[in-house]
Structure 1
Amino acid sequence: MNANIEEILARMRALEEELQAEFAKKREEFGFLVENKRVRFAREVLEKQRLARLGLWRFLRHSRISVALTAPLIYAGFIPFLLMDLFVTVYQRICFPIYGIPRARRSDYMAFDRGDLPYLNAIERFNCFYCSYGNGVAAYLREVAARTEQYWCPIKHARRIVATHERYPRFFEFGDAEAYRKGLERIRASVGEGQTGDAAGATSAKS
């Protein structure tokens, strides 16, 4: 891989760590701990947040009619999410061992801690659960698809793609037939090496 690309990727990872550190500092301001995947607030914080909870009747009374009318369509998305969740789980359990691809851990992409927020009413908690599940399934699918792509077709597109997955920068350049033929098996073997694998050696095979 080009040294400049490696350097940019390293800076991106460093910035991501810096961003996560800032998020952690911000979370400390709200006085909670995470124990066994459950959130625990300090008592005084808990009482203050409960006062901010909006009752169901008041919540519904201030909701727009258009929101209520479109809600069934939104919630109907549960069905395709459930089917996709099931398909991705079965797919990688059957196919990945055959090709030697490590399976993505579903639990790494699912977080339902918003239900512990005392200022949310029942409807808001359900909405948060739904959003968490939908986005969790999408992230889970994305990682399984990314690992599949790294194994079967680790080649960048000729045109710019918006919001590529984290493995994409290490794929072979479009049109670089020599690097692809020399390095394909190596990049396939590196699927399980971290989030992005290591195609640097594969692309450097050409030099």
Structure 2
Amino acid sequence: MAYTGEVKDSGPQTRELSRLTVTKVSVGPMDNNAYLLRCTSTGEQVLIDAANDAATLLALVGPSGLARVATTHQHGDHWQALAEVVAATSARTTAGADDVAGIPVPTDEPLVDGASVPVGDCTLEAIHLVGHTPGSIAYLYEDPDGIAHVFTGDSLFPGGVGNTRGNKANFESLIGDVSRKLFDRLPDSTWVYPGHGNDTTLGAERPSLPAWRARGW
């Protein structure tokens, strides 16, 4: 099956990059996206958001094991399966330093802006986006042989930034961080993998930034 990023009804889909494979699956009653990244040269794997359905996630991981679980933020629907996945795999855990207190599974590697998360011979960069939660992290993979890929959790979706629950200061922080750290830095071709729903690109969303600012959410 060709990768479309629409996995709610299709089951897992895998995208093969030159040095990394990305498998996306929807889990749990809130249709959270989880992403299994595998380095093609070493076989090392990292899971972004052990959101729910531990059995589904562990079946994706398979016998190759799991080096890390990288959590995007502290909201409970993004870590319901974290304890079970860690217990089964002995994976290390990463999350934004400012969200660690809200995640009941200990975080082995608290992340700050610009921190590196290895996936075998590949590297993810932690991008701290404040607003949806204090410590939300987007994980950026800049493919040396292709486009950039960013896993945004609940900070950026098709159609807007994440929910800031009517808090003006949090919205201004989030739209500012997303604008500066993603849209101002990365090209239109950058592929966006959100915490729920379908994928998008920065190019598809960029024209809407003024409208998002004007509506305030």
TM over 0.5: no
Q: TM-score, normalised by structure 2?
A: 0.24
Question: Which is greater in Rg?
Answer: 1
TM-score (norm 1): 0.24
Higher strand content, 1 or 2: 2
**Greater relative contact order (CA < 8 Å, ≥ 6 in sequence):** 1
Structure with the largest fraction of helix: 1
